[in-house]
């Protein structure tokens, strides 16, 4: 990140400016296989092996991170519950006042 607006990152200092960018030539999309082409069949063992490989790629959280996140969620639920109790009570009180006022006027 640059330290000030418009500052050149240190990696780029001293490099000559590039000339105009060359136009990008997009290659045509490859043709897809015909619908009647035979598909590769996977076995349950291959599937389980792939699932295990993908599971190894996952970055698992530590117990401390899980505990802290759980505590934060609990506190947010408590704060949200208190907020909605206060708002509901306030709206109920206002509605009661309006209904009492309307009942006395009749």
Q: Is the dihedral of CA 86, 87, 88, 94 positive or negative?
A: positive
According to the model, what pLDDT value does residue 25 have? Answer: 76
Confidence label for 10 from pLDDT (cuts 50, 70 and 90): low
User: pTM, whole model, 2 decimals?
Assistant: 0.45
pLDDT digits (tens, 9 = 90+) for 47-105: 999 999 999 998 889 999 999 999 999 999 999 999 999 999 999 999 999 999 888 86
Confidence label for 5 from pLDDT (cuts 50, 70 and 90): low
Confidence label for 24 from pLDDT (cuts 50, 70 and 90): confident
Measured distance CA(47)–CA(53) in Å, rounded: 10
According to the model, what pLDDT value does residue 33 have? Answer: 61
According to the model, what pLDDT value does residue 73 have? Answer: 98
According to the model, what pLDDT value does residue 14 have? Answer: 60
Domain boundaries along the sequence of the chain: 78-106
Measured distance CA(79)–CA(72) in Å, rounded: 11
Q: Tell me the DSSP string of 9-63.
A: PTTTTTPPPP-SPPPPPPPPPPPPPPTTSPPPP--HHHHHHHHHHHHHHS-PPPH
């Amino acid at each position: 990140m640059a330290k000030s607006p418009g500052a050149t990152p240190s990696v780029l200092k001293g490099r000559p400016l590039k000339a105009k960018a060359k136009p990008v030539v997009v290659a045509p999309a490859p043709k897809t296989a015909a619908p009647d082409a035979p598909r590769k069949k996977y076995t349950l063992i291959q599937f389980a092996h792939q699932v295990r490989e993908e599971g190894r790629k996952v970055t698992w959280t530590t117990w401390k991170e899980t505990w802290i996140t759980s505590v934060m969620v609990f506190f947010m639920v408590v704060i949200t519950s208190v907020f909605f109790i206060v708002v509901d009570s306030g709206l109920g009180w206002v509605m009661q006042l309006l209904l009492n006022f309307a009942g006395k006027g009749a």
